[in-house]
C-alpha cells in the first residue's frame, strides 16, 4: 500500500527521529537522496547547470546541501534566493563547494530545483518566486518534497504553484502526491526513505500486491453460486449498448454468474453477446443505472428491494436522495457528484478529495469519484486513490464496464470499499494493457480484464 501522510503526521515522525540522531543527520539524508535523484534526472553531474530557487526553510536547506554535492561533482550550481533569509549552514556548504549565490536567473539552465517552500508552506507563490519561475518557464523543474504553492494535505491548488517534471519527496508520500489537482503538478514522484516511524494514513493507493491479496479466488470445491451471483439492471430502448458494456464488466470471470434484467431490446443484445448470462433471480449484489434513461428510478427501486449491496451508476444516481438500508457504492463523475451535493462542477474538480469525503458521509455510502486519479471514499474518512490507467481511458462506456466489474467483486464477497478500489485499480490496469500506448474503446477494457488478473496471480 502506498500511504499518503499529512503534514502533522510527518512533522511528528520527524521530530521523534531527530531526537535519536546527531544534528543535521536527517537533512543530510534528504540532501543525499535529492542529489542522487538530480544526477539521475540530468544523466550526470559534470558540466550541468543547476539553478536552485531557495526559500527560507529546511526545504531550501535540503536543496543547498544537495547543490553542494553536485558542485563537488563538477556541476555549475547557482542559488537564487526568493526570500529575505535562507538556511545559513546550507549556503555556507554550497559556496564552499564552488556554488554561487546569484541575483538573477542565468542565461543557460539545465534544471531548476524548486525549493521555495516545503510541506509547511501555504498555498500560492510570492511575487518574487513567481517572477523567477516565469524566467525559466521552458526549463525542466524538480520540486523538493512538493511543488511549491500546492495545498499539501488536500491536493488542492487554490493559487499559483509550481508545475514540476519530477518531485523528490522524503520519508513518505503526502496527500498532494496522490490527489489531483496537485498530483498533476508533481510530475513523476521519487520517494527518498528517511527511516520515519509513521502511523496509518487515511489516504492510500493500492499496489499490485495489495490487489493480489484482495482478489477473490475460487476455492477448489467452489461452484457458480458460491462464487457469487451479480445482477445487472442497465440499458434501455434508447441505450442498449450500456447494458452490453456493463454486463461485459460484470461477466469478466470474477463472479460465478451474471443475471440481467432490462428492456427487451437490450436483453436481446446482451444474450447474443453473452450467452452465459441468465435472467432475473436471486443475487448477492446489484449494478444499476448505466443507460437506464427514464427507467432509472424503477430500476433502482427494484435493486434496492432485495437489500443486497448495490452499485449505483449514471442515470440512477439522480434518484439517490440519502442513506438507504442497502450497502451502496456510488460511482459519479465530477458533474454527477456536483449535482448530488448541490455545487458547481468546477468546485468538485478543484477539491475532489473534500467533496468525495463529504458525499460519503452524506449518503452513508462508498463514493467512487471518477477522474484521472479516481478517489474511493468511505464513510469515516478513509480514501483510496487509483493510480493505474491511461488518458485513453476517457472514452464513452468505460464507466459502464467499471460499474459491472465492481458489482462482480461485491457479489464475490468483497466489502464495498475493497470492491470499489480493487475494481477501479483493475479497470485502470486493463485500460493500460489494452491501450499499449494507443486509443481504446470501452469493450477493449472489459476484454483485457482476465489477462490483468492472470498477470497478478503468482
Alpha-carbon gap, residue 28 to 45, rounded angstroms:
19
C-alpha cell at 68: 553542494
What CATH number matches the domain at 2-201, 3.40.50.10260, 3.40.50.10540, 3.40.50.1820, 3.40.50.720?
Answer: 3.40.50.10260
Helix (H) or strand (E) holding 334: helix 334-341
DSSP state string for 228-270: -EEEEE---SS-HHHHHHHHHHHTSSSSSEEEE---HHHHHHH
Could you tell me the residue ranges of all domains in the chain?
2-201, 208-456
Give residue 387's pLDDT: 97
CATH of domain 208-456: 3.40.1190.20
Looking at residue 193, the DSSP 8-state letter turns out to be: P
Fold agreement (2-201, 208-456) = no
Give residue 261's pLDDT: 97
Which ranges constitute the DSSP H helices of 125-228?
127-135, 175-178, 182-186, 208-214
Alpha-carbon gap, residue 159 to 173, rounded angstroms:
22
Give residue 458's pLDDT: 76
Sequence-distant (6+) residues with CB within 8 A of 83 are 54, 55, 56, 60, 126, 128
CA distance to 71, 72, 76, 80, 97, per residue, from 100 (Å)? 10, 13, 8, 9, 9
C-alpha cell at 99: 556554488
Judge whether 191 and 169 are in contact, CB under 8 Å. yes
Looking at residue 142, the DSSP 8-state letter turns out to be: E
Per-residue pLDDT of the chain (458 residues; tens, 9 = 90+): 999 999 999 999 999 999 999 999 999 999 999 999 999 999 999 999 999 999 998 999 999 999 999 999 999 999 999 998 999 999 999 999 999 999 999 999 999 999 999 898 889 999 989 999 999 989 999 999 999 999 999 999 999 999 999 999 999 999 999 999 999 999 999 999 999 999 999 999 999 999 999 999 999 988 999 999 999 999 999 999 999 999 999 999 999 999 999 988 899 999 999 999 999 999 999 999 999 999 999 999 999 999 999 999 999 999 999 999 999 999 999 999 999 999 999 999 999 999 999 999 999 999 999 999 999 999 999 999 999 999 999 999 999 999 999 999 999 999 999 999 999 999 999 999 999 999 999 999 999 999 999 999 87
Give residue 265's pLDDT: 86
Give residue 374's pLDDT: 98
Is the previous residue joined to 249 through a cis bond, with omega within 30 degrees of 0?
no
Q: Beta 383-385 vs 375-377: how paired, if at all?
A: antiparallel
Amino acid at each position: 500500500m502506498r500511504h499518503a501522510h499529512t503534514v502533522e503526521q510527518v512533522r511528528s515522525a520527524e521530530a521523534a527521529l531527530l531526537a535519536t540522531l546527531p544534528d543535521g543527520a536527517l537533512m543530510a539524508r534528504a540532501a543525499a537522496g535529492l542529489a542522487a535523484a538530480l544526477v539521475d534526472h540530468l544523466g550526470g553531474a559534470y558540466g550541468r547547470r543547476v539553478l536552485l530557487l531557495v526559500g527560507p526553510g529546511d526545504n531550501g536547506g535540503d536543496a543547498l546541501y544537495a547543490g553542494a554535492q553536485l558542485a563537488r561533482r563538477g556541476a555549475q550550481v547557482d542559488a537564487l534566493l526568493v526570500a529575505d533569509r535562507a538556511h545559513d549552514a546550507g549556503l555556507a556548504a554550497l559556496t564552499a563547494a564552488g556554488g554561487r549565490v546569484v541575483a538573477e536567473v542565468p542565461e543557460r539552465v539545465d534544471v531548476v530545483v524548486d525549493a521555495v517552500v516545503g510541506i509547511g508552506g501555504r498555498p500560492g507563490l510570492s511575487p518574487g518566486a513567481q517572477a523567477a519561475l516565469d524566467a525559466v518557464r521552458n526549463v525542466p523543474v524538480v520540486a523538493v518534497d512538493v511543488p511549491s504553492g500546492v495545498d499539501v494535505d488536500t491536493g488542492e491548488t487554490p493559487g499559483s504553484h509550481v508545475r514540476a517534471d519530477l518531485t523528490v519527496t522524503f520519508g513518505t508520500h503526502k496527500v498532494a502526491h496522490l490527489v489531483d489537482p496537485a498530483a498533476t503538478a508533481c510530475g513523476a514522484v521519487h520517494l527518498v526513505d528517511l527511516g520515519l516511524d509513521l502511523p496509518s494514513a487515511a489516504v492510500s493507493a493500492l499496489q499490485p500486491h495489495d490487489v493480489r491479496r484482495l482478489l477473490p479466488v475460487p476455492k477448489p470445491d467452489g461452484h457458480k453460486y458460491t462464487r457469487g451471483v451479480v445482477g445487472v439492471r442497465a440499458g434501455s430502448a434508447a441505450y442498449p449498448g450500456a447494458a452490453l458494456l456493463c454486463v461485459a464488466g460484470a461477466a469478466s470471470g470474477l463472479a460465478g454468474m451474471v443475471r440481467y434484467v432490462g428492456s427487451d431490446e437490450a436483453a436481446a443484445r446482451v444474450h447474443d453477446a453473452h450467452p452465459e448470462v441468465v435472467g432475473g433471480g436471486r443475487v448477492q449484489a446489484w449494478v444499476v443505472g448505466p443507460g437506464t434513461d427514464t427507467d432509472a428510478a424503477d430500476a433502482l427501486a427494484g435493486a434496492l428491494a432485495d437489500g443486497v449491496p448495490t452499485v449505483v451508476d449514471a442515470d440512477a444516481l439522480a434518484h439517490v436522495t440519502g442513506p438507504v438500508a442497502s450497502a451502496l457504492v456510488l460511482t459519479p463523475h465530477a458533474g454527477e457528484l456536483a449535482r448530488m451535493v448541490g455545487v458547481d462542477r468546477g468546485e468538485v474538480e478543484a477539491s475532489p478529495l473534500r467533496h468525495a469525503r463529504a458525499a460519503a458521509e452524506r449518503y452513508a455510502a462508498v463514493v467512487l469519484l471518477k477522474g484521472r486519479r479516481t478517489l474511493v471514499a468511505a464513510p469515516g474518512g478513509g480514501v483510496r486513490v487509483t493510480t493505474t490507467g491511461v488518458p485513453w481511458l476517457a472514452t464513452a462506456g468505460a464507466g459502464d464496464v467499471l460499474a459491472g466489474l465492481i458489482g462482480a467483486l461485491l457479489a464475490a464477497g468483497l466489502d464495498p470499499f475493497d470492491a470499489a478500489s480493487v475494481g477501479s485499480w483493475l479497470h485502470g490496469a486493463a485500460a493500460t494493457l489494452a491501450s499499449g500506448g494507443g486509443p481504446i474503446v470501452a469493450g477493449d477494457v472489459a476484454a483485457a480484464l482476465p489477462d490483468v488478473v492472470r498477470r497478478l496471480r503468482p
